[in-house]
Chain A
Amino acid sequence: MEKTYVVMISPDSPVTPSDASKRVLMMKLDLSVKETCFGLIIEGEEDLLNEAVEELKRIDRYGIYVKERGFKIYDNRICRLVRKKRRPGFHQFEREYATLPYIRYGLSAYEKGMEMPEKIKPRKIPAQKLKKLIKEMTYEGDGVSPN
């Protein structure tokens, strides 16, 4: 069954959309490939698509993200060139594109078995101690800090 995949490449990835498209084309699979600003759009049979995605993930395991897309590659109804404005769905890409470096860190930490470091909570200080500290740090005369 023919499908269309959107491949999003993390901004901190060593792989560029141009590299990725060349890599897929060099596999000589029966796929249509379109290079975009955020990654690639690939179209073809599902098995071939999965093969291409596996190859891309072999280069950068935590930097390549894939999702199925409803529209075909050269559908004018969703093409920015024809619409002369942002296409529907781009805002979501833009929002998630900024999060991808964090997700890369999270994924690599998960595979290494790292736990989330506990947040250090500031200790509570009794009011008397706080007053004493303020008194020590300020002049009694004008209440302005010497620093």
Chain B
Amino acid sequence: MKVMVYPPTSVVIADLIKRMGHEPLVTGVVLKDKVGIDLDSPPYEITLNDLKNSLEYLSVETPAGMRGRIALIMPLIKKADAAIIIQDSDFSFGCGGCDRANKFLIYQIKSKGIPFIEVQYPRDENEAVAFVKKIMDFLKKLGGI
């Protein structure tokens, strides 16, 4: 099954999904198509097609930064059969991220009707045991190994 990872650049979650025999949907999957185009700095630089595609979900007056991010990540959410969301992903907010876009994408995952779980990054060993167990049990229920 194709499992969406949120934030979509997480190495840990992507690896855990692969260990259980599923396919992780990470940013690399969609970025491959962008890299081939002659852009100076993908994914920061967006194309006209991205803006057009994002109109499916957003209005015209939405800022281009948010539209570009949503146009990049939404194809992953469309493909996803399940999702794992990390709640306290503070690093995806700030100069490199957009909190509004993140909230919108999480809303899209939740309203799609696919099975999903929400976890937090572990801060000690005990939390890590619970973190891994929750994810592995969820992936086991989906099928696979």
Residue B80 lies at the interface, judged by CB distance under 8 Å to chain A: no
Q: Which residues of B contact A88 (CB under 8 A)?
A: 43-44, 96
Q: Cβ of B9 and Cβ of A92 under 8 Å apart?
A: yes
Quick one: which of B1-52 are within 8 Å of A by CB? 7, 9-12, 14-15, 18, 24, 26-32, 34-35, 39-44
Q: Cβ of B35 and Cβ of A91 under 8 Å apart?
A: no
Q: Cβ of A103 and Cβ of B24 under 8 Å apart?
A: no
Contact of A100 among B12, B29, B129 (CB under 8 A): B12
Q: Which residues of A contact B96 (CB under 8 A)?
A: 88, 91
Contact count A vs B, C-beta below 8 Å: 107
What is the distance, in angstroms, from A51's C-beta to the closest C-beta of chain B? 14
Contact of B31 among A71, A99, A105 (CB under 8 A): A71
Q: Which residues of B contact A75 (CB under 8 A)?
A: 35
Residue B128 lies at the interface, judged by CB distance under 8 Å to chain A: yes
Q: What's the dominant secondary structure at chain B's contact region?
A: helix
* Contacts A70-B35, A71-B31, A114-B129 given; does A77 touch B42 at CB 8 Å: yes
Cα separation A75 to B122 with both chains bound (whole Å): 33
The 8 closest A-B pairs by CB, nearest first: A70-B31, A106-B132, A106-B128, A102-B128, A68-B28, A65-B15, A70-B28, A67-B14
| A and B contact pairs by CB, cutoff 8 A, 11 listed | A66-B11, A68-B28, A70-B34, A75-B35, A100-B12, A103-B131, A103-B132, A109-B129, A110-B132, A110-B136, A116-B126
Residues in chain A within 8 A of chain B (CB atoms)? 4, 6, 8, 65-72, 75, 77, 88-89, 91-93, 95-96, 99-100, 102-103, 105-107, 109-110, 114-117, 119
